[in-house]
């Protein structure tokens, strides 16, 4: 029976033994037999006490073992090992069950755990009440009440403490009312206090690091915002700032122009006669640098080795260059090589899908971080320069020759196709198909295109695009009600247009042409000239023509000059806008880049350090200085301006 037993002893005493299955079987036995055995033991011990000298210490005699169990067949009871009933219950006391539960779970008690929990006479757990309640003698030793009383009764008047042999009587027994007696270990308490102090210190450090982490996160967010603002400011300076090169009055410009014309040799004057004539009779002329002379030169800063390079572009905000290559040793695989212009040794290759084929045009977004890719595999792809993954890819009806971002809205991109001079407009928010598809005025493919800045003379929301094909220059207006597409007057009569350079800060345009001939069947083809320049088999005599957009879809021709151009390839050119306006073009005969002042087209510098013809040339402007990049088949050269 579990719980407390009444003190009158009306309930039978239970003992337990294990059966063959390991279960505990409770049994009871008569107290009379136990009393008789106790009386016999007491009598025999009294006789021995009479013969024993009281002065000599007595040896501690353990209590007699219990009589053999008598299991009553009428009252069998099986107790599981997990039962909380104690194997010893005295007259209504409640037995501590920790020893049984610990033994049932297979754990072993250590000496320190046994001390303070068990009676040293019977080696069984004492209780908080009943016959076996914990009690003590004057010497301080603890025992179960029934055990020590029986011990002292056996000794009668010569009773002694079983452990220290100090004389004690039944009157000296003191009952202790406690739930559990545990000896406190001072060393363990010290360790506990030390561990608590360490935990408190670690919690304090953890809180301190959490506060620092929050501050670092706030600092990181502030720096990210600052970087974003600087990129926006850089893009505005790169694109949106009005051209600041018109502060000198027209009168002073004309006076300087006339003075240069008088001091110039006659041959040079005839070569630039068209430029002088246009400058004298043109309107709204805000160029001040014709004949002024060069105030600064470009010097070579870095030279990077590349293989199979075709074309490239530069992200000015992050100083990263991206190059379209065809690797010769990997089955002609087309890749994009991304490299830092500050630390060029760190390069990454972006492998393009096999169906992408050759890249015809590559443009970095005005705000950076994205690259637009037009290829002969009928693909228009947008690639992230941060993750090197393809963000968006459009399937085209024909091979793409050119592409461009829109300067007015970051959502729109353009591409020119190989057939019918077709132009497609895509909105990146719509990933399935183009939002507009327009057939060109000529059937020639669009090889170059630039997005124009907003024109105040056009209705709000109109997006303008300038394109070049072999038939001439063309402007496209999207979002306008009338006059969507028109040719730039006079550009169709200059010859075969092979290159186009555009300066968004000043709205100046330089188009390059090579001669064309009229066949008998009214077809127009490009034909090499028989001049000495073309006798080398690499170049023909062509023309560079300077235009300026005046607004309201009007263009003014400011001048032109003769130049050696390639008879087959489509060369690249760029307009430099820093301290003065210059035009950078390639000469494949001499494998050099020629810098000419505008609008006079006077050559001011020749950058010749290439062993192969130059494939592409780009100029980027950041907050500090300009960067002129020249790409050949095997190297990329970086030039910066040095003020003399």
- Greater confidence (343 vs 436) lies with 436
The reported pLDDT for the residue numbered 370 is 92
The reported pLDDT for the residue numbered 255 is 62
Q: Is the pLDDT of residue 341 over 50?
A: yes
Least confident residue range of 394-398, 515-519, 630-634 = 515-519
Fold of domain 14-183: Herpes Virus-1 (3.30.40)
Q: Is the pLDDT of residue 348 over 90?
A: no
Averaged pLDDT for residues 581-592: 88
Tokens of 306: 């590349």
pLDDT band, residue 144 (cuts 50/70/90): very high
What would the pLDDT profile of 26-82 be if each residue is shown by its tens digit? 444 444 444 444 444 444 444 444 444 444 444 444 454 444 443 333 333 333 333
What would the pLDDT profile of 380-420 be if each residue is shown by its tens digit? 999 998 888 899 999 999 999 999 999 888 889 999 999 88
Q: Considering the entire predicted model, what is its pTM? A: 0.54
pLDDT band, residue 544 (cuts 50/70/90): very high
What would the pLDDT profile of 166-186 be if each residue is shown by its tens digit? 988 888 999 988 766 666 667
The reported pLDDT for the residue numbered 154 is 83
What is the rounded average pLDDT for all residues in the chain? 74
The answer to whether 434 touches 394, Cβ cutoff 8 Å, is: yes
Q: Exposure pattern of 491-521 as b/e (b: 16+ CB <10 Å)?
A: beebbbbbbbbbbbbbbbbbbbbbbbeeeee
Q: Is the pLDDT of residue 468 over 90?
A: yes
pLDDT band, residue 236 (cuts 50/70/90): low
Q: Is the pLDDT of residue 162 over 80?
A: yes
The reported pLDDT for the residue numbered 35 is 47
Q: Using DSSP, state whether 548 is helix, strand or coil.
A: strand
> What is 295-305+461-644's CATH superfamily?
YVTN repeat-like/Quinoprotein amine dehydrogenase (2.130.10.10)
Q: Is the pLDDT of residue 244 over 60?
A: no
Tokens of 343: 């630390």
The answer to whether 485 touches 441, Cβ cutoff 8 Å, is: yes
Contacts 24+ apart (CB under 8 A), 72-77: 72/27, 72/28, 75/28, 76/25, 77/25, 77/26
Nearest to 498 by CA among 558, 568, 557, 559: 568
Percent with pLDDT over 70 in the chain: 65
The reported pLDDT for the residue numbered 126 is 79
The answer to whether 269 touches 261, Cβ cutoff 8 Å, is: yes
Q: Identify each DSSP E strand in 296-332 by its residue range.
A: 296-305, 309-315, 320-327
Euclidean distance between the first and the last CA atom of the chain, given in angstroms as a whole number: 110
The reported pLDDT for the residue numbered 329 is 64
Residue 451 bridge partners (DSSP): 465
Backbone angles phi, psi at 418, to 5 degrees: -80, -25
The reported pLDDT for the residue numbered 129 is 82
């Amino acid at each position: 029976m579990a719980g407390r037993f009444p003190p009158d002893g009306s309930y039978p005493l239970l003992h337990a033994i294990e059966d063959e299955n390991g279960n505990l079987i409770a049994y009871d036995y008569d107290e009379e037999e136990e009393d008789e055995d106790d009386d016999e033991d007491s009598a025999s011990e009294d006789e021995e006490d009479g013969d024993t000298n009281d002065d000599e210490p007595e040896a501690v005699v353990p209590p007699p073992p219990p009589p053999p169990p008598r299991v009553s067949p009428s009252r069998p009871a099986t107790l599981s090992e997990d039962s909380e009933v104690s194997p010893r219950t005295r007259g209504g006391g409640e037995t501590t069950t920790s020893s049984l539960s610990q033994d049932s779970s297979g754990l072993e008690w250590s000496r320190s755990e046994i001390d303070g929990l068990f009676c040293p006479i019977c080696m069984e757990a004492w209780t908080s009440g009943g016959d076996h309640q914990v009690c003590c003698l004057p010497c301080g030793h603890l025992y179960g009440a029934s055990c020590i009383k029986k011990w002292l009764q056996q000794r009668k008047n010569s009773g002694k403490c079983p452990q220290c042999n100090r004389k004690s009587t039944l009157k000296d027994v003191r009952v202790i009312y406690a739930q559990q007696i545990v000896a406190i270990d001072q060393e363990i308490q010290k360790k506990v206090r030390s561990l608590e102090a360490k935990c408190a210190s670690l919690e304090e450090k953890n809180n301190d690091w959490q506060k620092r982490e929050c501050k670092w996160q706030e600092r990181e967010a502030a720096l990210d915002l600052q970087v974003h603002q600087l990129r926006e400011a850089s893009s505005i300076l790169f694109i949106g700032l009005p051209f600041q090169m018109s502060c000198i009055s027209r009168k002073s410009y004309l006076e300087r122009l006339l003075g240069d014309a008088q001091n110039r040799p006659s041959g040079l004057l005839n070569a630039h006669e068209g430029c002088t004539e246009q400058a004298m009779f043109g309107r709204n002329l805000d160029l001040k640098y014709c004949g002024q002379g060069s105030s600064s030169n470009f010097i070579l800063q870095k030279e990077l080795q590349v293989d199979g390079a075709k074309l490239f572009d530069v992200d000015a905000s992050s100083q990263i260059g991206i190059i379209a290559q065809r690797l010769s040793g990997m089955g002609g695989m087309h890749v994009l090589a991304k490299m830092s212009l500050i630390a060029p040794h760190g390069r990454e290759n972006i492998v393009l899908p096999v169906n992408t084929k050759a890249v015809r045009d590559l443009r970095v977004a005005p705000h950076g971080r994205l690259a637009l890719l037009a290829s002969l595999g009928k693909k228009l792809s947008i690639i992230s320069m941060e993750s090197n993954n393809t963000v968006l890819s459009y399937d085209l009806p024909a091979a793409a020759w050119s592409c461009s971002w829109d300067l007015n809205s970051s959502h729109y991109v353009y591409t020119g196709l190989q057939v019918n001079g077709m132009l497609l407009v895509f909105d990146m928010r719509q990933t399935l198909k183009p939002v507009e598809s327009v057939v060109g005025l000529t059937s020639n493919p669009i090889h170059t295109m630039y997005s124009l800045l907003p024109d105040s003379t056009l209705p709000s929301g109109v997006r303008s695009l300038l394109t070049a094909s072999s038939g001439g220059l063309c402007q496209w207006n999207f979002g306008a009600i009338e006059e969507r597409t028109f040719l730039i007057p006079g550009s169709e009569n200059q010859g075969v247009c092979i290159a186009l350079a555009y300066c968004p800060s000043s709205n100046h345009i330089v188009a390059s042409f090579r001669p064309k001939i009229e066949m008998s069947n009214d077809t127009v083809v490009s034909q090499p000239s028989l001049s000495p320049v073309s006798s080398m088999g690499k170049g023909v005599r062509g023309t560079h023509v300077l235009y300026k957009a005046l607004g309201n879809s009007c263009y003014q021709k400011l001048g032109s000059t003769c130049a050696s151009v390639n008879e087959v390839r489509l060369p690249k050119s760029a307009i430099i806008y820093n301290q003065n306006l210059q035009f950078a073009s390639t000469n494949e005969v001499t494998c050099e880049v020629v810098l000419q002042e505008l609008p006079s087209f006077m050559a001011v510098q020749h950058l010749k350090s290439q062993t192969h013809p130059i494939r592409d040339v780009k100029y980027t402007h950041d907050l500090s200085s300009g960067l002129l990049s020249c790409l050949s088949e095997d190297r990329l050269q970086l030039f910066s301006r040095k003020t003399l």
